[in-house]
Amino acid sequence: MKTFRTVMILLMFGTICFPAFSQQKKNTPAQPAAPAEKKKPVYTGKDIPQGPLENLMVKVGAGGVTKAEYDFFMLKTANKGRKAVSALSDDEKKQALFSSIDEELLFQGALAEGAYKDEYICWRIIEIYKSSNTTARIDPRNFTDDELEKYYKANPAKFTRPASVNVKGLKFMTESEQEVQKVMKQVAANPDSVKNWVDIGWIEEGKMGAGLPQRITDPITKLKKGQNSGIVYDKSVDWRYIFLVTDRKEPELIPYSEAKGKVKFELIGAKQEEMKKKLVDQQGKGQTGISEDEVLLNSGLQSGAQRELQNRRYIVEWYVTKKKVPREQLLPEMKKKFKVEILKLD
Protein backbone atom coordinates (compact mmCIF):
# COMPACT_ATOMS: atom_id res chain seq x y z
CA MET A 1 0.00 0.00 0.00
CA LYS A 2 2.88 2.39 0.83
CA THR A 3 4.45 1.81 -2.60
CA PHE A 4 1.08 2.33 -4.33
CA ARG A 5 0.54 5.57 -2.40
CA THR A 6 4.00 6.83 -3.41
CA VAL A 7 3.30 6.03 -7.06
CA MET A 8 0.00 7.93 -6.91
CA ILE A 9 1.74 10.98 -5.44
CA LEU A 10 4.32 10.90 -8.22
CA LEU A 11 1.63 10.59 -10.85
CA MET A 12 -0.20 13.62 -9.48
CA PHE A 13 2.96 15.68 -9.14
CA GLY A 14 4.71 14.54 -12.30
CA THR A 15 8.47 14.12 -12.55
CA ILE A 16 10.14 15.47 -9.40
CA CYS A 17 13.63 16.79 -10.08
CA PHE A 18 14.21 20.12 -8.33
CA PRO A 19 17.49 22.00 -8.81
CA ALA A 20 17.06 24.02 -5.63
CA PHE A 21 14.66 24.74 -2.76
CA SER A 22 13.96 28.47 -2.65
CA GLN A 23 12.18 31.16 -4.56
CA GLN A 24 14.26 31.93 -7.65
CA LYS A 25 14.07 33.02 -11.26
CA LYS A 26 13.38 30.43 -13.90
CA ASN A 27 16.72 31.03 -15.61
CA THR A 28 18.79 29.82 -12.69
CA PRO A 29 22.50 29.46 -13.55
CA ALA A 30 23.69 25.88 -13.84
CA GLN A 31 25.37 24.47 -10.74
CA PRO A 32 29.13 23.83 -11.01
CA ALA A 33 30.07 20.27 -11.80
CA ALA A 34 30.79 18.02 -8.83
CA PRO A 35 34.47 17.34 -8.24
CA ALA A 36 35.78 14.17 -9.86
CA GLU A 37 35.79 11.13 -7.60
CA LYS A 38 39.20 10.42 -6.15
CA LYS A 39 40.87 7.60 -8.05
CA LYS A 40 41.39 4.34 -6.23
CA PRO A 41 45.02 3.33 -5.75
CA VAL A 42 46.72 0.72 -7.92
CA TYR A 43 49.94 -1.16 -7.34
CA THR A 44 52.96 0.71 -8.70
CA GLY A 45 55.82 -1.60 -7.71
CA LYS A 46 58.06 -3.32 -10.26
CA ASP A 47 57.80 -6.80 -8.76
CA ILE A 48 54.61 -8.91 -8.80
CA PRO A 49 53.60 -9.83 -5.23
CA GLN A 50 52.44 -13.43 -4.88
CA GLY A 51 51.65 -13.43 -1.20
CA PRO A 52 52.72 -16.25 1.10
CA LEU A 53 52.65 -19.60 -0.71
CA GLU A 54 52.35 -22.02 2.17
CA ASN A 55 52.48 -25.77 1.69
CA LEU A 56 53.06 -25.66 -2.06
CA MET A 57 52.13 -28.72 -4.06
CA VAL A 58 52.98 -27.34 -7.49
CA LYS A 59 55.33 -24.53 -8.49
CA VAL A 60 53.94 -22.42 -11.37
CA GLY A 61 56.26 -19.65 -12.46
CA ALA A 62 56.72 -17.32 -9.50
CA GLY A 63 53.52 -18.67 -7.92
CA GLY A 64 52.02 -22.06 -7.44
CA VAL A 65 49.21 -24.24 -6.14
CA THR A 66 48.97 -24.53 -2.37
CA LYS A 67 47.47 -27.47 -0.51
CA ALA A 68 44.42 -25.34 0.37
CA GLU A 69 43.85 -24.46 -3.29
CA TYR A 70 44.27 -28.07 -4.37
CA ASP A 71 41.78 -29.13 -1.70
CA PHE A 72 39.27 -26.69 -3.16
CA PHE A 73 39.56 -28.30 -6.60
CA MET A 74 39.29 -31.74 -5.01
CA LEU A 75 36.03 -30.66 -3.38
CA LYS A 76 34.83 -29.14 -6.66
CA THR A 77 35.58 -32.41 -8.50
CA ALA A 78 33.82 -34.44 -5.78
CA ASN A 79 30.73 -32.21 -5.91
CA LYS A 80 30.59 -32.55 -9.68
CA GLY A 81 30.60 -36.33 -9.34
CA ARG A 82 28.18 -36.20 -6.37
CA LYS A 83 30.54 -38.10 -4.12
CA ALA A 84 32.73 -37.54 -1.07
CA VAL A 85 36.33 -36.34 -1.51
CA SER A 86 37.52 -39.56 0.10
CA ALA A 87 35.75 -41.52 -2.66
CA LEU A 88 37.63 -39.85 -5.51
CA SER A 89 39.62 -42.15 -7.77
CA ASP A 90 43.28 -41.54 -8.60
CA ASP A 91 42.28 -40.26 -12.04
CA GLU A 92 39.80 -37.82 -10.49
CA LYS A 93 42.48 -36.57 -8.08
CA LYS A 94 44.80 -35.98 -11.03
CA GLN A 95 41.99 -34.16 -12.81
CA ALA A 96 41.60 -31.90 -9.77
CA LEU A 97 45.34 -31.26 -9.70
CA PHE A 98 45.52 -30.40 -13.40
CA SER A 99 42.50 -28.10 -13.06
CA SER A 100 44.20 -26.25 -10.19
CA ILE A 101 47.37 -25.91 -12.30
CA ASP A 102 45.38 -24.51 -15.25
CA GLU A 103 43.75 -21.97 -12.95
CA GLU A 104 47.14 -20.93 -11.57
CA LEU A 105 48.58 -20.59 -15.07
CA LEU A 106 45.78 -18.20 -15.99
CA PHE A 107 46.21 -16.38 -12.68
CA GLN A 108 49.92 -15.88 -13.38
CA GLY A 109 49.05 -14.71 -16.90
CA ALA A 110 46.68 -12.12 -15.41
CA LEU A 111 49.33 -10.83 -13.00
CA ALA A 112 51.86 -10.54 -15.83
CA GLU A 113 49.24 -8.74 -17.94
CA GLY A 114 48.87 -6.00 -15.29
CA ALA A 115 45.99 -7.10 -13.06
CA TYR A 116 47.43 -5.00 -10.22
CA LYS A 117 47.04 -1.89 -12.39
CA ASP A 118 43.27 -2.35 -12.47
CA GLU A 119 41.48 -0.08 -9.96
CA TYR A 120 38.63 -2.47 -9.25
CA ILE A 121 40.91 -5.46 -8.68
CA CYS A 122 43.02 -3.41 -6.26
CA TRP A 123 39.85 -2.21 -4.49
CA ARG A 124 38.76 -5.84 -4.04
CA ILE A 125 42.17 -6.71 -2.57
CA ILE A 126 41.95 -3.79 -0.13
CA GLU A 127 38.43 -4.73 0.96
CA ILE A 128 39.15 -8.42 1.53
CA TYR A 129 42.31 -7.60 3.46
CA LYS A 130 40.57 -4.95 5.54
CA SER A 131 37.58 -7.20 6.23
CA SER A 132 39.71 -10.18 7.29
CA ASN A 133 41.56 -7.99 9.76
CA THR A 134 38.55 -6.12 11.15
CA THR A 135 35.03 -7.45 10.49
CA ALA A 136 36.04 -11.11 10.66
CA ARG A 137 37.51 -10.54 14.14
CA ILE A 138 34.40 -8.93 15.61
CA ASP A 139 31.77 -11.17 17.20
CA PRO A 140 28.70 -9.14 18.27
CA ARG A 141 27.64 -12.06 20.47
CA ASN A 142 30.46 -11.06 22.79
CA PHE A 143 29.14 -7.53 23.31
CA THR A 144 27.95 -7.09 26.90
CA ASP A 145 24.89 -5.05 27.88
CA ASP A 146 27.16 -2.69 29.83
CA GLU A 147 29.32 -2.13 26.75
CA LEU A 148 26.30 -1.50 24.54
CA GLU A 149 24.61 0.85 26.99
CA LYS A 150 27.86 2.78 27.51
CA TYR A 151 28.17 3.30 23.74
CA TYR A 152 24.50 4.34 23.56
CA LYS A 153 24.95 7.01 26.22
CA ALA A 154 28.19 8.28 24.69
CA ASN A 155 26.64 8.72 21.22
CA PRO A 156 23.10 10.10 21.64
CA ALA A 157 23.09 11.72 18.18
CA LYS A 158 23.33 8.27 16.54
CA PHE A 159 20.19 7.11 18.34
CA THR A 160 18.01 10.19 18.04
CA ARG A 161 14.97 9.94 15.82
CA PRO A 162 15.27 12.91 13.42
CA ALA A 163 12.67 15.61 12.97
CA SER A 164 9.80 14.76 10.66
CA VAL A 165 6.95 16.71 9.11
CA ASN A 166 3.58 15.82 7.66
CA VAL A 167 3.31 17.53 4.29
CA LYS A 168 0.87 18.24 1.53
CA GLY A 169 1.76 19.73 -1.83
CA LEU A 170 0.28 21.65 -4.71
CA LYS A 171 1.39 21.81 -8.34
CA PHE A 172 0.64 25.00 -10.25
CA MET A 173 -1.03 24.21 -13.55
CA THR A 174 -0.85 27.77 -14.91
CA GLU A 175 1.88 29.88 -16.46
CA SER A 176 0.21 33.08 -15.28
CA GLU A 177 2.36 34.78 -12.65
CA GLN A 178 -0.71 36.67 -11.51
CA GLU A 179 -2.59 33.43 -10.85
CA VAL A 180 0.41 31.96 -9.01
CA GLN A 181 0.70 34.97 -6.73
CA LYS A 182 -3.04 34.85 -6.10
CA VAL A 183 -2.80 31.23 -4.95
CA MET A 184 0.26 32.05 -2.84
CA LYS A 185 -1.66 34.78 -1.00
CA GLN A 186 -4.55 32.37 -0.48
CA VAL A 187 -2.16 29.75 0.92
CA ALA A 188 -0.64 32.30 3.30
CA ALA A 189 -4.04 33.53 4.48
CA ASN A 190 -6.10 30.33 4.55
CA PRO A 191 -4.41 27.18 3.16
CA ASP A 192 -7.51 25.06 3.82
CA SER A 193 -9.41 27.11 1.25
CA VAL A 194 -7.00 26.11 -1.50
CA LYS A 195 -8.13 23.21 -3.69
CA ASN A 196 -6.13 20.33 -5.20
CA TRP A 197 -3.71 19.74 -2.33
CA VAL A 198 -2.06 16.31 -2.50
CA ASP A 199 -1.33 14.56 0.79
CA ILE A 200 2.36 13.55 0.71
CA GLY A 201 2.53 12.18 4.26
CA TRP A 202 5.37 12.11 6.76
CA ILE A 203 8.88 13.07 5.62
CA GLU A 204 11.88 12.42 7.88
CA GLU A 205 14.97 14.62 7.92
CA GLY A 206 17.94 13.01 6.17
CA LYS A 207 15.81 10.69 4.04
CA MET A 208 13.92 10.71 0.78
CA GLY A 209 10.16 10.75 1.11
CA ALA A 210 7.31 9.92 -1.26
CA GLY A 211 9.69 9.91 -4.20
CA LEU A 212 11.02 13.41 -3.45
CA PRO A 213 14.83 13.75 -3.54
CA GLN A 214 16.58 14.54 -0.28
CA ARG A 215 17.71 17.96 -1.48
CA ILE A 216 14.01 18.84 -1.46
CA THR A 217 12.85 16.95 1.62
CA ASP A 218 15.57 18.19 4.01
CA PRO A 219 14.62 21.88 3.66
CA ILE A 220 10.96 20.97 4.07
CA THR A 221 11.74 19.22 7.38
CA LYS A 222 13.17 22.49 8.71
CA LEU A 223 9.74 24.17 8.45
CA LYS A 224 7.38 24.53 11.39
CA LYS A 225 3.75 23.45 11.49
CA GLY A 226 1.68 25.78 9.29
CA GLN A 227 4.66 27.08 7.31
CA ASN A 228 4.87 26.73 3.56
CA SER A 229 7.90 26.32 1.35
CA GLY A 230 7.24 29.18 -0.99
CA ILE A 231 7.45 28.39 -4.68
CA VAL A 232 9.73 25.53 -5.65
CA TYR A 233 10.72 25.26 -9.29
CA ASP A 234 11.21 22.02 -11.18
CA LYS A 235 13.51 23.30 -13.92
CA SER A 236 13.44 20.06 -15.92
CA VAL A 237 9.74 20.45 -16.81
CA ASP A 238 9.30 24.13 -15.86
CA TRP A 239 6.63 23.40 -13.27
CA ARG A 240 6.16 25.07 -9.91
CA TYR A 241 5.11 23.63 -6.57
CA ILE A 242 4.37 24.67 -3.02
CA PHE A 243 4.57 22.46 0.09
CA LEU A 244 2.71 23.02 3.34
CA VAL A 245 3.64 21.46 6.70
CA THR A 246 0.49 20.28 8.48
CA ASP A 247 2.20 18.67 11.49
CA ARG A 248 5.70 18.31 12.94
CA LYS A 249 7.59 15.97 15.29
CA GLU A 250 10.79 17.22 16.89
CA PRO A 251 13.94 15.05 17.19
CA GLU A 252 13.59 12.44 19.94
CA LEU A 253 16.08 10.13 21.64
CA ILE A 254 15.06 6.52 21.00
CA PRO A 255 14.82 4.54 24.27
CA TYR A 256 17.73 2.13 24.76
CA SER A 257 15.44 -0.91 24.84
CA GLU A 258 14.09 0.05 21.41
CA ALA A 259 17.45 1.09 19.97
CA LYS A 260 19.49 -1.90 21.16
CA GLY A 261 19.72 -3.52 17.72
CA LYS A 262 20.92 -0.27 16.16
CA VAL A 263 23.37 0.22 19.03
CA LYS A 264 24.92 -3.15 18.28
CA PHE A 265 25.13 -2.33 14.57
CA GLU A 266 26.75 1.07 15.21
CA LEU A 267 29.20 -0.44 17.70
CA ILE A 268 30.32 -2.95 15.07
CA GLY A 269 31.04 -0.04 12.72
CA ALA A 270 32.93 1.85 15.40
CA LYS A 271 35.07 -1.19 16.22
CA GLN A 272 35.74 -1.77 12.50
CA GLU A 273 36.95 1.81 12.12
CA GLU A 274 39.09 1.59 15.25
CA MET A 275 40.67 -1.68 14.12
CA LYS A 276 41.25 -0.31 10.61
CA LYS A 277 43.06 2.73 12.03
CA LYS A 278 45.29 0.53 14.15
CA LEU A 279 45.96 -1.71 11.15
CA VAL A 280 46.95 1.25 8.98
CA ASP A 281 49.12 2.73 11.74
CA GLN A 282 50.86 -0.59 12.27
CA GLN A 283 51.34 -1.47 8.61
CA GLY A 284 52.21 2.08 7.57
CA LYS A 285 55.12 2.58 9.97
CA GLY A 286 58.15 3.91 8.16
CA GLN A 287 56.13 4.70 5.03
CA THR A 288 55.65 8.35 4.15
CA GLY A 289 53.76 10.11 1.41
CA ILE A 290 51.26 7.31 0.76
CA SER A 291 47.56 7.17 1.45
CA GLU A 292 45.67 4.91 3.83
CA ASP A 293 44.35 2.84 0.92
CA GLU A 294 47.85 2.45 -0.52
CA VAL A 295 49.05 1.11 2.85
CA LEU A 296 46.16 -1.38 2.87
CA LEU A 297 46.76 -2.39 -0.75
CA ASN A 298 50.47 -3.08 -0.22
CA SER A 299 49.75 -4.99 2.99
CA GLY A 300 46.93 -6.92 1.33
CA LEU A 301 49.19 -8.02 -1.52
CA GLN A 302 51.91 -9.13 0.88
CA SER A 303 49.37 -11.09 2.95
CA GLY A 304 47.97 -12.86 -0.13
CA ALA A 305 44.49 -11.27 -0.31
CA GLN A 306 44.73 -11.49 -4.11
CA ARG A 307 44.67 -15.30 -3.83
CA GLU A 308 41.47 -15.38 -1.80
CA LEU A 309 39.02 -17.55 -3.76
CA GLN A 310 36.64 -14.85 -5.02
CA ASN A 311 39.44 -12.41 -5.81
CA ARG A 312 41.48 -15.05 -7.60
CA ARG A 313 38.51 -16.15 -9.66
CA TYR A 314 37.69 -12.56 -10.59
CA ILE A 315 41.30 -11.87 -11.64
CA VAL A 316 41.31 -14.94 -13.89
CA GLU A 317 38.00 -13.96 -15.51
CA TRP A 318 39.30 -10.40 -15.95
CA TYR A 319 42.28 -11.81 -17.85
CA VAL A 320 40.24 -14.14 -20.05
CA THR A 321 37.81 -11.33 -20.90
CA LYS A 322 40.68 -8.99 -21.69
CA LYS A 323 42.32 -11.49 -24.05
CA LYS A 324 38.96 -12.11 -25.78
CA VAL A 325 39.61 -15.81 -26.35
CA PRO A 326 38.44 -18.94 -24.47
CA ARG A 327 40.67 -20.01 -21.62
CA GLU A 328 41.43 -23.28 -23.39
CA GLN A 329 43.19 -21.29 -26.13
CA LEU A 330 45.21 -19.33 -23.59
CA LEU A 331 46.57 -22.33 -21.70
CA PRO A 332 49.11 -23.60 -24.30
CA GLU A 333 50.79 -20.19 -24.34
CA MET A 334 50.75 -20.03 -20.53
CA LYS A 335 52.38 -23.47 -20.28
CA LYS A 336 55.23 -22.23 -22.47
CA LYS A 337 55.58 -19.01 -20.49
CA PHE A 338 55.45 -20.39 -16.94
CA LYS A 339 57.38 -23.43 -15.79
CA VAL A 340 55.26 -26.02 -13.98
CA GLU A 341 56.91 -28.25 -11.39
CA ILE A 342 54.93 -30.77 -9.34
CA LEU A 343 56.46 -30.91 -5.87
CA LYS A 344 54.24 -33.48 -4.15
CA LEU A 345 51.02 -35.40 -4.49
CA ASP A 346 48.58 -36.70 -1.88
In a domain, 279, yes or no: yes
Alpha-carbon distances, residue 58 vs 20, 286, 303, 344 (angstroms): 63, 35, 20, 7
Range of the domain at 319: 61-112+308-346
d(CA 318, CA 118): 10
Q: Quick one: 171 and 242 in the same domain? A: yes
Q: Quick one: 170 and 216 in the same domain? A: yes
Q: What is the largest CA-CA distance in the chain?
A: 90
pLDDT of residue 174: 62
Q: Quick one: 288 and 223 in the same domain? A: no
In a domain, 321, yes or no: yes
pLDDT of residue 114: 95
pLDDT of residue 206: 85
Q: Quick one: 172 and 234 in the same domain? A: yes
In a domain, 146, yes or no: yes
Q: Is 223 in contact with 245 (CB distance < 8 Å)?
A: yes
DSSP code, position 87: G
3-state secondary structure of 249: strand
Q: Quick one: 192 and 245 in the same domain? A: yes
Long-range contacts of 319-328 (CB under 8 A, 24+ apart): 319/106, 319/107, 319/109, 319/110, 319/113, 319/115, 320/106, 322/113, 323/113, 327/102, 327/106
How many C-alpha atoms does 148 have within 13 Å on its Cβ side?
A: 19
Whole-structure pTM over 0.85, yes or no? no
Q: Quick one: 108 and 232 in the same domain? A: no
pLDDT of residue 273: 94
Q: Quick one: 282 and 229 in the same domain? A: no
Q: Quick one: 237 and 206 in the same domain? A: yes
Q: Quick one: 147 and 273 in the same domain? A: yes
In a domain, 191, yes or no: yes
Specify the CATH number for the domain of residue 221.
3.10.50
d(CA 18, CA 227): 20
d(CA 256, CA 139): 21
Distance of CA 160 to the CA centre of its chain: 24
Q: Quick one: 167 and 239 in the same domain? A: yes
Digits of tens for pLDDT over the chain (346 positions)?
555 454 445 445 554 443 333 333 344 334 444 445 567 899 998 899 999 999 999 999 999 999 999 999 999 999 998 999 999 999 999 999 999 999 999 999 999 999 999 999 999 999 999 999 999 999 999 999 999 999 999 999 999 999 999 999 887 766 677 777 888 787 888 888 888 888 889 999 888 777 777 777 888 899 999 988 888 776 655 667 888 999 999 999 999 999 999 999 999 999 999 999 999 998 888 777 889 999 999 999 999 999 999 999 999 999 999 999 999 999 999 999 999 999 876 6
Count CB atoms within 10 A of the CB of residue 73: 20
d(CA 48, CA 116): 8
pLDDT of residue 162: 92
pLDDT of residue 229: 85
Q: Quick one: 138 and 84 in the same domain? A: no
In a domain, 94, yes or no: yes
pLDDT of residue 1: 53
pLDDT of residue 228: 87
Q: Quick one: 278 and 153 in the same domain? A: yes
**If residue 167 lies in a helix (H) or strand (E), which one and from where to where?**
strand 164-172
In a domain, 44, yes or no: no
d(CA 179, CA 172): 9
pLDDT of residue 190: 84
In a domain, 257, yes or no: no
d(CA 130, CA 297): 9
d(CA 141, CA 97): 40
In a domain, 194, yes or no: yes
If one counts the domains in the chain, the total is 3
